[in-house]
């Protein structure tokens, strides 16, 4: 099987800008229309350790694969480390704006905003879970202007770096040593140097999210430690959260976003459950 990063995804139906910056755009895919019905929405946030080197194209595979299930999909691009304005706080501003733009899209396209599922892969998992928790942002300080309650039906982390402090703490393992530096590059500082940034930008500081959560990861993931989803789930359940974790035997970091992989049935099932 070819690597998903080397395969050309099915084209999007529409490429739409949600802001004035050239990188503030998203790809919208719509399912076959059903008379009198609006489609549930799958919003996807791509990964790549928040770096400008990686873009949204590979997410087109998972978005297109959900069309037969009746999902509309909205896969967003955003400013990343290496782009002007990328990293903290610009990346957060873009992701919040991209999510909020669903309200504008729903004026033209038949989207059911009561059934929005947000999913993120790798670093995109961090951004998806941050969106789910941003109603807990502090009243003042970094990102406070992005505090908003715009409900989603569920949030799905696909090999997601859903907790920045945990990602740093677990990076002591040799295999994951690069993870810590990627977080520091993205946030521009360590938790000790800029605690206010992490209070605003780390989903682990915004719990309980009060949104049903799914974490899907491969046992052979060489980028996100298997302890991360386990630790997140244990803490969430102590807080009364609804969290489901699924570690897929033999799957790697990209299998969870590849509809041609053996991980796809489990990923699809999580998304369908999240949409209710």
Residue 204 confidence (pLDDT): 96
What DSSP assignment string belongs to 119-169? EEETHHHHHHHHHHHGGG--SSSTTGGG------SEEEEES----HHHHHH
CA distance 3 to 154: 28
Residue 34 confidence (pLDDT): 80
Contact 121, 47 (CB under 8 A): yes
Confidence band (pLDDT; 50, 70, 90) for 36?
Answer: confident
What is the average pLDDT value for the chain, to the nearest integer?
94
Asked if omega into 89 is within 30° of 0 (cis), the reply is yes
CA distance 237 to 215: 13
pLDDT of 56-75, one tens digit each? Answer: 999 999 999 999 999 999 99
Is pLDDT at 189 greater than 70 in this prediction?
A: yes
What are the structural domain ranges in the chain?
A: 4-275
pLDDT of 71-130, one tens digit each? Answer: 999 999 999 999 999 999 999 999 999 999 999 999 999 999 999 999 999 999 999 999
Residue 11 confidence (pLDDT): 95
CA distance 127 to 108: 26
Instruction: Please give the structure tokens belonging to residue 140.
Output: 């003042």
The CATH number fitting domain 4-275, selected from 3.40.50.1820, 3.30.470.20, 3.90.190.20, 3.40.50.300: 3.40.50.1820
pLDDT of 135-167, one tens digit each? Answer: 999 999 899 999 998 889 999 999 999 999 999
Residue 171 confidence (pLDDT): 73
Contact 128, 119 (CB under 8 A): yes
What DSSP assignment string belongs to 177-192? HHHHHHHHHHHSS-TT
pLDDT of 162-187, one tens digit each? Answer: 999 999 988 765 455 567 889 999 99
**pTM for the structure as a whole:** 0.96
Contact 162, 132 (CB under 8 A): no
């Amino acid at each position: 099987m070819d690597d998903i990063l080397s395969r050309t995804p099915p084209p999007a139906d529409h490429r739409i800008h949600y802001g004035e910056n050239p990188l503030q755009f998203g790809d919208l895919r719509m399912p076959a229309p059903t008379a009198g019905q609006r489609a549930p929405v799958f919003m996807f946030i791509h990964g790549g350790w928040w770096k400008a080197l990686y873009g949204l194209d590979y997410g087109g595979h998972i978005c297109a694969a959900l069309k037969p299930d009746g999902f509309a999909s909205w896969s967003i691009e955003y400013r990343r480390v290496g782009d002007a304005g990328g990293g903290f706080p610009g990346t957060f501003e873009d992701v919040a704006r991209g999510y909020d733009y669903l309200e504008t899209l729903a004026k033209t396209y038949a989207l059911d905003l009561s059934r929005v599922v947000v999913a993120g892969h790798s670093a995109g998992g961090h951004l998806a879970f941050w969106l789910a928790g941003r109603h807990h942002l502090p009243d003042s300080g970094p990102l406070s202007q992005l505090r908003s309650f715009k409900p989603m039906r569920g949030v799905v982390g696909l090999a997601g770096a859903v907790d920045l402090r945990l990602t740093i703490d677990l990076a002591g393992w040799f295999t994951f040593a690069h993870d810590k530096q990627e977080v520091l590059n993205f946030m521009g500082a360590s938790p000790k140097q800029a605690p206010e940034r992490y209070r605003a930008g780390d989903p682990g500081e915004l719990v309980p999210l009060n949104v049903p959560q799914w974490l899907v990861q491969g046992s052979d993931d060489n980028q996100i430690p298997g302890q991360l989803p386990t630790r997140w789930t244990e803490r969430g359940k102590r807080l009364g959260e609804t969290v489901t974790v699924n570690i897929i035997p033999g799957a790697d970091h990209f299998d969870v976003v590849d509809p041609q992989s053996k991980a796809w049935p489990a990923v699809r099932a999580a998304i369908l459950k999240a949409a209710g």
